[in-house]
A and B are shown apart, each in its own frame.
Chain A
Amino acid sequence: MRRILLGLGAAIAMLVLPGLAAAETVKVGVIGVFSGGFARWGEQFKQAIEVFQKHHGKVVNGNTIEIILRDAGGPDPAKARQLAEELILREKVQFLAGFAFTPNAMAVAELITEAKMPTVIFNAATAVITRRSPYFVRVSFTLPQVSAPIAVWAPKNGIKKVVTVVSDYAPGHDSEQTFIKVFKANGGEILESIRIPLSTTDFAPFFERVLQQKPDAMFMFGPGGPPSVAMINTWASRLKPAGIQLVTTNETQAIDLPKIGRAAIDAIGSSNFTEIIDTPLNKRLRADMTAMFGPDQVPDVATVGTYDGLQLIYMTVAKLGPRPNPDDVMKFWTSGLKWESPRGPIAIDPKERDIIQGVHLRRVKEVDGKLINVDFEIVPDVKDPWKEENK
C-alpha cells in the first residue's frame, strides 16, 4: 500500500510540475484466452483490468497506460509466440503480461529473453516457468505452493490415508507430486494415485475405485470448468456418504460454487485467495465487480492475479518512468517488493521472481443459504516449495 501511495504522491508531483516529464503512452500487451472453450480466463482478465482502471485510472505520472488484449484461443504455444512477437516488434509494448496457460508462457520464454521484455504472469501456475527466462515475474501462484500446506495440515487432523486423483497433465502431476511428498513426510499414507485423462466425461468409475480403497480422504486436482464441477458432484454422491473427505486446492472457488451447488459442502480447499476475506482492497474489489458486471460476479484467482500484475506495472511506471530500461525493471522487481493485494500482503521472491503469499486452508459451508469458503487457517508467507526442492 505504501508504495502505491508513494506512486500516487509522485503522480501528483508530476502533475503540478508540468514540463518535467513528457506525457507518453506506455503499452502493455496482455496475451490471454478470450475465445473457445477456455474463454472464462479471458473474461476474468478483462474484468480485472476494467476494475483496476476504475480504481487507479489509466494515467500514471501523466503517462497513459494502454492495455492491448490478444487472444491465443487456448493452449496454443505457436500462437502465443506469434502474438508476443507482434506485440514486441509491431506494437512496441513496454511490458508483456497475461498467460492463462503454462505452455503459452513457456513458448515466449526464449523470445522475451532475447528481446529483454519484462513479462508479468497473471495466471499460469506450473512451478518451473519463472526459471525459463530471467524476464518473467509471477504474481499468481504455483501449484506446489497451494498443494503443500494442506498436506501438512491433513495428517495432523485425522486424515491419515489418502487416495490422490488428479487430471493427467502437467499441473495435475505438479500438484500430485507435491502433495504426496509432503503428506508422506508428515506421516500420511498414500493408498493409490489415479490420473484421470483430460477427455473424461463420466468420473464415476474412477471414484468407485477410490471407494474400494476406503481412504480417510481423497486429494483431488481437476482441470477447472465443467470437469471439475462434475468431479466434485461425483464425490458428493458416491464418496461423501461413505465418510471419505475431499481435499482439493483451487477447485471450490466462489465463482464455481453456485455451479457445484450443495454438493460442495464440507469440501476442504487450499488456495492463495479466499474470495470473502475482509481486506479493504478485496471489499472494494468485490463491490465493484458486482456493480460493474452483475450480482453473480465475484473475484477469482485469475482476477486478483491480473489486478496485482497491473499494480506491479503501475508501480514500475511510477518509479522508473514510461520508457524504463528492461534491466532496471528487473532490478526493481527483484528488489524485495512487497505490496497489498486484495488477497492480503504479497511479496516477490527476489531470487526466483515468484510470488510469496499466504495460503488459505478452508472448508465450504452453507451460511444463510449461500455457499462460501470459510478459512480455518492461513499459512503466511509461503514460498514455492518446488524451487526450494530444485535449487
Chain B
Amino acid sequence: MATATVILLDGLAYGMVLFIISVGLTVTMGLMRVVNLAHGGFAMAGGYLAAMMIRAGVPFFAAAALATLAAGILGGIAEMTVFRPLYRKGELAQVLMTFGLTFVFIAALTWLFGTDVKILPIPSYLAGPVDLGFRTYPTYRLFLIVVGLLLFLLVWFVIEGSLYGARLRAAVDNPRMARAVGIDVNRLFTITFVIGCALAGFGGVIGAEMLQLDPFYALRYLVLFLVVVAVGGLGSFKGSFVAAITLGVVETAGKFLFTDIAAFLLFALVFVLLLWRPNGLLPPKSVA
C-alpha cells in the first residue's frame, strides 16, 4: 500500500510537469492549427534563464517568476516575427520553420553555455525528504503536484470564468463563427501564445529536476509534449490535463510493475488511446 501511494505520487508529479509545459501548445495548436515544434525551446529557455539567475543569487521563486515572464516575452517576439508569416502557409512550412528555429535555439545555447547539463538548484527547504507517516518522500515532488493542481485550477478559472476564456473557447470551437461575431482571433492567438510560452518556461524551471536541462532538451522531450497534445485533444486544456496525468500515472505504475516491457509502455499506450479516440480524450466541439 505504501509503495502504491508512492508510485501514484510519482506518476502525478511526472504528469503535472508534462501538463504545465504542454498546455500552452495544446491550446495554440487547437486555436490556429500552427504546428509548433519549437515549443520545447521556450521551456528550455525558461529553465536556463532561471538556472543562471539562481546561480547569480536570485531566490528560487523570484527566478522562476522572472524566467516565466522572459519566456512569455520571448514567445511574444517569436510570434510577431517568425510565426505571423506562417499562418497563411501550410503545416509543412510551419514544421520546417519551427524545426529550424529549434536548431537555432540549440546552437545558441551550446554557444552560450556549452553542452553540459545545467543544474537548477532547488531551495533547501524543498530539497529534503518529508515524512508521510509510513515513509519519507522527496518534498519537491509533493511541491510539483501542488503547483500543478493550483495551475490547473487557475487555468480552469480563467478559461471558464473570464471574458478572455469565453472568447478563447468560442474561437477554438468554431474560428469562423468567432471571427464573424467580431472576436479578434489573431490577437487572441498572440495572447494565448505568450501565455503558453510563459507556462512552458515555468514548466522548464520547476520540471528541471525531472527533465534535465541541456541544449538538446528542445528536441529530446518534444515528443513527450506532442504526445500530451495528441492524446488530450487539440485545443482542449482539460484534455491535456487528463492526458498528462493518465500518461504519467499509467507509465510510472507500468514501469514499476513490468520493468521488462518498460520501453514499450508509453507509446503502446499512446497507440491504443489514439486508435480508441482519434480526436483525443476530450476534444473540443469543433472536432468532436
Give A contacts to B, CB under 8 Å: 35-37, 39-40, 43, 168, 194-197, 199-202, 204-206, 208-209, 211-212, 225-227, 229-230, 233, 237-238, 241, 255, 258-259, 261
Q: Are A194's CB and B259's CB within 8 A?
A: yes
Docked CA distance A202–B210 (Å): 6
User: How distant is A299 from chain B, measured CB to nearest CB, in Å?
Assistant: 15
User: How distant is A254 from chain B, measured CB to nearest CB, in Å?
Assistant: 13
Instruction: Specify the chain A residue showing the minimal Cβ separation from B110.
Output: A39
Q: Are A40's CB and B115's CB within 8 A?
A: yes
Q: Are A226's CB and B10's CB within 8 A?
A: no
Given known contacts A43-B114, A202-B210, is B262 in contact with A208 (CB within 8 Å)? no
Instruction: Specify the chain A residue showing the minimal Cβ separation from B216.
Output: A37
Q: Which B residues, 238 to 270, have Cβ-Cβ distances below 8 Å to chain A? A: 252-253, 255-256, 259, 262-263, 266
Top 10 nearest A-B pairs (CB, nearest first) are: A226-B212, A197-B263, A37-B216, A205-B256, A205-B255, A39-B115, A204-B10, A40-B115, A237-B138, A259-B119
Docked CA distance A4–B3 (Å): 59
B129 close to chain A: CB less than 8 A:
yes
Residues of the B chain whose Cβ atoms lie less than 8 Å from the Cβ of A230 = 210, 212
B220 close to chain A: CB less than 8 A:
yes
User: How distant is A22 from chain B, measured CB to nearest CB, in Å?
Assistant: 41
Docked CA distance A36–B220 (Å): 11
Residues of the A chain whose Cβ atoms lie less than 8 Å from the Cβ of B7 = 205, 208
Give B contacts to A, CB under 8 Å: 3, 6-7, 10, 14, 110, 114-117, 119, 121, 129, 136, 138, 209-216, 219-221, 224, 252-253, 255-256, 259, 262-263, 266
Q: Are A258's CB and B119's CB within 8 A?
A: yes
Docked CA distance A230–B119 (Å): 11
Given known contacts A226-B212, A237-B138, is B262 in contact with A196 (CB within 8 Å)? yes
Q: Are A205's CB and B214's CB within 8 A?
A: no
Residues of the A chain whose Cβ atoms lie less than 8 Å from the Cβ of B224 = 201
Residues of the B chain whose Cβ atoms lie less than 8 Å from the Cβ of A196 = 259, 262
User: How distant is A155 from chain B, measured CB to nearest CB, in Å?
Assistant: 25
User: How distant is B131 from chain A, measured CB to nearest CB, in Å?
Assistant: 11
Residue among A37, A43, A209 making CB contact with B220, cutoff 8 Å: A37
Docked CA distance A224–B219 (Å): 18
Residue among B110, B213, B219, B252 making CB contact with A202, cutoff 8 Å: B252
Q: Are B3's CB and A204's CB within 8 A?
A: no
Q: Are A201's CB and B221's CB within 8 A?
A: yes
Q: Are B3's CB and A208's CB within 8 A?
A: yes
Work out how many contacts link A and B, with CB atoms closer than 8 A.
80
User: How distant is B271 from chain A, measured CB to nearest CB, in Å?
Assistant: 15
User: How distant is A295 from chain B, measured CB to nearest CB, in Å?
Assistant: 13
User: How distant is B74 from chain A, measured CB to nearest CB, in Å?
Assistant: 22
Instruction: Specify the chain B residue showing the minimal Cβ separation from A234.
Output: B138
Q: Are B136's CB and A208's CB within 8 A?
A: no
Docked CA distance A35–B266 (Å): 28
Residues of the A chain whose Cβ atoms lie less than 8 Å from the Cβ of B262 = 196-197, 200, 206
Docked CA distance A199–B265 (Å): 11
Residues of the A chain whose Cβ atoms lie less than 8 Å from the Cβ of B119 = 229, 258-259, 261
Residue among A204, A225, A258 making CB contact with B214, cutoff 8 Å: A225
User: How distant is A372 from chain B, measured CB to nearest CB, in Å?
Assistant: 18
Q: Are A43's CB and B115's CB within 8 A?
A: yes
Q: List 13 A-B contacts (CB under 8 A).
A: A37-B214, A39-B115, A199-B266, A205-B252, A205-B256, A206-B262, A209-B256, A225-B214, A226-B213, A226-B214, A227-B212, A237-B129, A259-B116
Docked CA distance A312–B75 (Å): 51
Residues of the A chain whose Cβ atoms lie less than 8 Å from the Cβ of B213 = 226
Docked CA distance A269–B267 (Å): 35
User: How distant is B210 from chain A, measured CB to nearest CB, in Å?
Assistant: 5
Which of B211, B214, B219, B220 has the most chain A CB atoms inside 10 A of its CB? B214
Docked CA distance A255–B117 (Å): 11
Residues of the B chain whose Cβ atoms lie less than 8 Å from the Cβ of A205 = 7, 10, 252-253, 255-256
User: How distant is A258 from chain B, measured CB to nearest CB, in Å?
Assistant: 7
User: How distant is A379 from chain B, measured CB to nearest CB, in Å?
Assistant: 30
Docked CA distance A201–B220 (Å): 10
Q: Are A241's CB and B115's CB within 8 A?
A: no
Q: Are A226's CB and B117's CB within 8 A?
A: yes
User: How distant is B220 from chain A, measured CB to nearest CB, in Å?
Assistant: 7
Residues of the B chain whose Cβ atoms lie less than 8 Å from the Cβ of A43 = 114-115
Given known contacts A43-B114, A241-B129, is B10 in contact with A202 (CB within 8 Å)? yes
Given known contacts A197-B263, A201-B224, is B256 in contact with A241 (CB within 8 Å)? no
Residues of the B chain whose Cβ atoms lie less than 8 Å from the Cβ of A40 = 114-116
User: How distant is B135 from chain A, measured CB to nearest CB, in Å?
Assistant: 9
Docked CA distance A340–B114 (Å): 31
Residues of the B chain whose Cβ atoms lie less than 8 Å from the Cβ of A206 = 255-256, 259, 262
Docked CA distance A201–B114 (Å): 22
Docked CA distance A241–B138 (Å): 11
Q: Are A229's CB and B212's CB within 8 A?
A: yes
Q: Are A199's CB and B210's CB within 8 A?
A: no
